[in-house]
Amino acid sequence: MLGGSPSPQVWIYWGTSDGTTNKGSWNLGALPMGTPGLVGFSTNVTGLPANQTYWYRCAASNINGEGWAASSAIFTTLPPSIVINDIGLLEGAQGTTNTAVFTVTLSATSAVPVTVDYTNANGTATAGSDYVGTSGTLSIPADTWSGTISVSVIGDNTVESDEIFYVNLTNAVHATIARSQGQCTISNDDFAVYVRGDGLGSDTTHSGTTWETPTPRSRRGWTRCQSTPPLSSMSRRPPAASPMPRARGHGATTMVTL
**pLDDT digits (tens), the chain, 258 positions:** 445 577 889 999 999 999 999 999 999 999 999 888 767 888 899 999 999 999 999 999 988 888 999 999 999 999 999 999 999 998 888 888 899 999 999 999 999 999 999 999 999 999 999 999 999 999 999 999 999 999 999 988 877 788 999 999 999 999 999 999 999 999 887 766 655 555 554 445 544 444 444 444 433 444 444 444 444 333 334 344 444 444 344 444 444 444
Q: Which amino acid is at 23?
A: K
| 227-239: burial string, b at 16+ Cβ within 10 Å, e else | beeeeeeeeeeee
Query: What is the predicted pLDDT for the residue at 84?
Result: 98
* Spatial distance between the Cα atoms of 121 and 100, rounded to a whole number of angstroms: 14
Phi-psi region for residue 208, left (φ > 0), alpha (ψ -120 to 50) or beta?
alpha
Residue type, 197: G
Distance of alpha carbon 140 from alpha carbon 147, whole angstroms:
6
Residues β-bridged to residue 81? 176
User: What is the model's pLDDT at position 227?
Assistant: 40
* Residues composing the chain: 258
Number of Cβ atoms within 10 Å of the Cβ of 203: 16
pTM of the model as a whole? 0.69
Determine whether domain 81-187 maps to CATH 2.60.40.2030: yes
Tell me, what's the pLDDT at 197? 55
CA atoms within 13 A of residue 226's CA, in its CB half-sphere: 11
Q: What is the pLDDT of residue 228?
A: 42
> What is the pLDDT, as a whole number, of residue 215?
45
Helix or strand (DSSP H, E) at 192: strand 192-196
Q: CATH 2.60.40.2030 spans which residues of the chain?
A: 81-187
The reported pLDDT for the residue numbered 225 is 41
pLDDT on residue 28: 96
pLDDT for res 39: 74
What residue type is 19 in one-letter code?
G
Q: Identify which of 193, 208, 211, 209 has the alpha carbon closest to the alpha carbon of residue 251.
A: 211
Q: How far is CA 106 from CA 115, 137, 147, in A?
A: 11, 15, 9
